[in-house]
Each structure stands twice: as structure tokens, then as C-alpha cells.
Amino acid sequence: MLNMSEIIYKKREGMALTAEEIKFFISGYVDGSIPDYQAAALLMAIFFKGLNREETFQLTEAMRYSGDTIDLSTIKGVKVDKHSTGGVGDKTTLIVAPIAAAAGIPIAKMSGRGLGFTGGTVDKMESIPNFRTSLEPEEFLNQVNKVGMAVIGQTAHITPADKKIYALRDVTQTVDNFGLIASSIMSKKLAAGSDAIVLDVKVGDGAFMENLENAQILANLMVDIGTDAGRRTVAAITEMGQPLGKAVGNALEVIEAIETLKGNGPEDITELAIQLSGLMIYLGGKADSHEKGIEIAKDVLTSGKALEKLKSFIKAQGGDEKVVEDYSIFPTAKHNLKLLAEETGYVAQIQAKTIGLASQHTGAGRATKEAEIDLSAGIYLHKKVGDFVKEGEVLAEFFGNDMAKLENGMKEARKAFTIVKEEVERPVLIKKIIGL
Ligand code: URA
């Protein structure tokens, strides 16, 4: 008979746990027979002693099967999922999913909501009037077969172990651990059922991983887990020192995603979308190399096919597809404020985390899970790292319905900018691709 106290002891002493012990912990914690205090003690022991590759895989598998798993077998073709470890201004899903789908890759995707300084795709999509982020399982599968893509919020019955453990990690200072992060992310991705997975591991001030070395450890770990589970998995390590693109905030980001699909997007988000969708097209078997995948991605983008795919996706999920042509249909902010440069020079830094927090202050993000958000609120950056700016020129604009919140957001955002006299190089967007 297994015993939780002995399992905690083993990990505290740095020993590896068996698959049975890990399963015992997960099932007992989900059914309530293992109390929070013992789970917290084990998490802290894991935090200090770590998990080896096999333990990380077993933890992922135990969490993956702790609730429902999605069966995508009725969808024809190689289904490819994409996941970002989270950032500021990251509207990539809304661009790469239509590009990959237009190239013939079936996309059956579950996305999350934003919390704290990071945003979530589900909130962004809800800025499209009448858009439904929740579909019945059959509707979801049928839509992918018919339209080529569907994106919904994560259903309540997927990976309950991860939900419960994440909530506990959040209040016990045990979030920041490679094995725990990798197993948390991969358990959800594996339960969601796609055949191949493209991971976008963010690195920089606005990401979980603040340096390249750590991002690489996390990326390798997740690629190993996916591979061990029999899924083709690759990870791109990408820049999150400054926000991605220029728009931060829900409706503002959807508009930027549409503009990118029209060929008018900011350079960084366009480049990232092409690289990631190129990987998805390659893993989905529609190209025989990443380079060929990139060529196909560029083709469907410039031909307008990806934009058409976005329109049919919005319509299929009940949304008003006219938003693609008429941005006045989006929730619009009553107020707007401008942050002006106080000196002339080159933008050397725009701290992503600070902009994420400032955007949350404008009303675009939520501090607690239950908080309501202002879908029209957010920040538009007129300057990015490397740009030249003159004193008095607009650095960023703030939108929202509550003036006090906007002022608060602008005050916070001012701290994010560093302007210097010497010319500044633009950051490299794609740092590394792992698992190709
Ligand atoms: N995102 C997750 O889903 N889990 C973590 O542990 C960290 C980030």
C-alpha cells in the first residue's frame, strides 16, 4: 500500500519517484483523499530536488488522464496544435491558425483566458460580437471538418489535476520549476488530442523564462515529453523582451491580427506568424521542410486565403464576420490618452511585463480569475525597440472606458520605456528552434 508521507520523504531525500507513486499522488489529490498540505509539501520537495525525464513524463501522463481527453480521430488529416508559454501582445494564434488551416492543416484548438499581465486568446475572440468560445464536442469536430479550424476555451473536464495543482503552486511559490511547468503545459496539450504540437517558448522580461539558457531547458523538456508520448513536437524559442506587435488589449489585438492577415501587420508579428505556421505546415505533412512550410505560409497569406479562412471561422462560431472589414463593430473605447517622449533618441527597451501590467490597469486584463475586463481597453505602441523618436512624439496610446484606469495605465507604462542617444539594434525574434 502506497503512502503519501513516504512519497514526500523519498522526494525530499532526492530519490526518483516511480510511475505508481506519481499516479497515486495525482489520483489521490484529485479525489480529495490527499490533503493540500501533503500535496504542497511534495511540490516543494519537487521544487528543490527536481524531476528526472521519466518522472516528468509520468507526471504529465498522470495529469493528462486525470479527466477527459479529446478524441480528434473523426477529423481527417494530421491535426496540429500550437501553444505559447504566454506573453504580452501575443495574438499569434489568431494569425497562425488561419494560415495553417488555409494550407490544409486541420486546427482543433483549445485556448485559455488571460490572467495578470498576460493575455489569453479566448478573451480576445470574445471581443468579436456574438462569437461563441464554447462549442459542443460534436459541433467542434464538425466545424474543423467543414471549415478547417475551430478554437474554443478549455472545457472544464480536461486535466482537473493540473487545475488543482496549478492553483496550489500559485500560492506556495512552486510555479517556477521546469518539470512542473513542462508537465502542466504538456498534459493539457496531450489531452487536447492533436497529432503534432508546435511550442512557442517565450524568453525575456515578459515571459516565464527570462534567459535563453532556461528557455532552452524548458523547450527541450517539453519536446522530449511530446516525443515520448508519440507526438511530433517542435519548440521555437522567441523574443518576449518587448511586447509582440504594437497592440496590447483584446479588441486592439484582434484588429492587429486581421491587419497582419491583410499584409499590413508589424514586422515582428508577421515574421513570427510565418515561422510558426511554417512549422505547423511542415509537421502536418503539407511541406517536406520548415523552409517549404514557410513558402506555403507566405503564399496563403499574400493570396488572401488566410484572411478568407479567418472570416469563415468567425462566421462558423457565430461571430459577425463583417468585423474583418469594419473595425467599428468591435467594442470601442470612450477615452484615449497619449504618452509623449520626454527626450529625443532611440528606443532601447520597452519592458513587456510593465506594458502587460499597464494594459491590465487600463481594464484590458484581470487581476483575479473572476474580474470583468474591458474588451475595448489596452495600449497601442507607436514605437518599438530600435525606432528613433523625437521629444514630444507619441510613444504609445491608451484606450478604455474608465479615465482613472487609463491614467493609471499610462503612469505605469512610462516606466517601461528606455530612450538612449546611440542607435539600437532590433532584437532577434527567433532565437532557436528545437526538435526539427
Ligand atoms: N502555463 C501552464 O499552463 N502551466 C505552468 O505551469 C506554467 C505556465
Rounded to whole angstroms, the Cα distance separating 433 from 200 reads: 9
Global pTM value: 0.95
Specify the length of the chain in residues: 436
How many angstroms does the Cα of residue 185 sit away from the middle of ligand 1? 5
Q: Residue 367: what pLDDT?
A: 79
Up-side HSE of residue 67: CA atoms within 13 Å toward CB?
19
Confirm or reject: Cβ of 185 under 6 Å from ligand 1.
yes
Q: Residue 118: what pLDDT?
A: 79
**332-420 topology per CATH:** Aldehyde Oxidoreductase; domain 3 (3.90.1170)
* Backbone CA torsion sign across 266, 269, 271, 277: negative
Give nearest CA residue, ligand 1 atom 1.
185
Confirm or reject: Cβ of 181 under 6 Å from ligand 1.
yes
Verify whether residue 277 is a known catalytic residue.
Answer: no
How many angstroms does the Cα of residue 364 sit away from the middle of ligand 1? 21
Verify whether residue 184 is a known catalytic residue.
Answer: yes
* Pocket-testing residue among 169, 184, 369, ligand 1, by greatest number of atoms within 8 A of Cβ: 184
How many angstroms does the Cα of residue 172 sit away from the middle of ligand 1? 15
Out of 81, 90, 123, 162, the active site residue is 162
- CATH 3.40.1030.10 residue ranges of the chain are 80-326
- CATH 1.20.970.10 residue ranges of the chain are 4-50
- CATH 3.90.1170.30 residue ranges of the chain are 332-420
Verify whether residue 83 is a known catalytic residue.
Answer: yes
- Report the amino acid identity of residue 415: K
Q: Which atom of ligand 1 is nearest to the CA of 112?
A: 3
Say which residue the cell 510555479 belongs to. Answer: 175
End-to-end CA distance of the chain: 43
Distances (CA, A) of 312 to 33, 96, 139, 309, 322: 47, 15, 15, 5, 11
**Number of other residues whose CB lies within 10 A of the CB of residue 420:** 12
Q: Which atom of ligand 1 is nearest to the CA of 169?
A: 6
**Number of other residues whose CB lies within 10 A of the CB of residue 48:** 11
Q: Which atom of ligand 1 is nearest to the CA of 175?
A: 6
Verify whether residue 188 is a known catalytic residue.
Answer: yes
Confirm or reject: Cβ of 312 under 6 Å from ligand 1.
no
Our measurement of the distance from residue 247's CA atom to the centroid of its chain's CA atoms, rounded to an integer in Å, reads: 15
Q: Residue 155: what pLDDT?
A: 82
Give nearest CA residue, ligand 1 atom 7.
181
How many angstroms does the Cα of residue 73 sit away from the middle of ligand 1? 27
* Pocket-testing residue among 47, 63, 168, 181, ligand 1, by greatest number of atoms within 8 A of Cβ: 181
Could you read off the pLDDT tens digit of each residue along the chain, which spans 436 residues? Answer: 899 999 999 999 999 999 999 999 999 999 999 999 999 999 999 999 999 999 999 999 999 999 999 999 999 999 999 999 988 999 999 999 999 999 999 999 999 888 777 788 999 999 999 999 999 999 999 999 999 999 999 887 999 999 999 999 989 999 999 999 999 999 999 999 999 999 999 999 888 899 999 999 999 999 999 999 999 999 999 999 999 999 999 999 999 999 999 999 999 999 999 999 999 999 999 999 999 999 999 999 999 999 999 999 999 999 999 999 999 999 999 999 999 999 999 999 999 999 999 999 999 998 787 888 999 999 999 999 999 999 999 999 999 999 999 999 999 999 999 999 999 999 999 999 999 9
**4-50 topology per CATH:** 1.20.970
Distances (CA, A) of 359 to 83, 119, 213: 22, 10, 29
Out of 66, 84, 111, 184, the active site residue is 184
Confirm or reject: Cβ of 184 under 6 Å from ligand 1.
yes
* Residues near 341 by beta carbon (within 8 Å), at least 6 away in sequence: 383, 389, 390, 391, 392, 393, 394, 395, 417, 419
User: What CATH number has the domain spanning 80-326?
Assistant: 3.40.1030.10
Give nearest CA residue, ligand 1 atom 2.
185
* Residues near 125 by beta carbon (within 8 Å), at least 6 away in sequence: 94, 111, 131, 133, 151, 254, 317, 319
Q: Residue 288: what pLDDT?
A: 97
The helix (run of H) or strand (run of E) holding residue 434 is strand 430-434
* Pocket-testing residue among 117, 183, 208, 209, ligand 1, by greatest number of atoms within 8 A of Cβ: 208
Give nearest CA residue, ligand 1 atom 6.
181
Rounded to whole angstroms, the Cα distance separating 58 from 84 reads: 22
Q: Residue 154: what pLDDT?
A: 86
Give nearest CA residue, ligand 1 atom 5.
181
Confirm or reject: Cβ of 215 under 6 Å from ligand 1.
no
Rounded to whole angstroms, the Cα distance separating 18 from 24 reads: 10
How many angstroms does the Cα of residue 82 sit away from the middle of ligand 1? 14
Rounded to whole angstroms, the Cα distance separating 44 from 169 reads: 9
- Report the amino acid identity of residue 24: F
Verify whether residue 12 is a known catalytic residue.
Answer: no
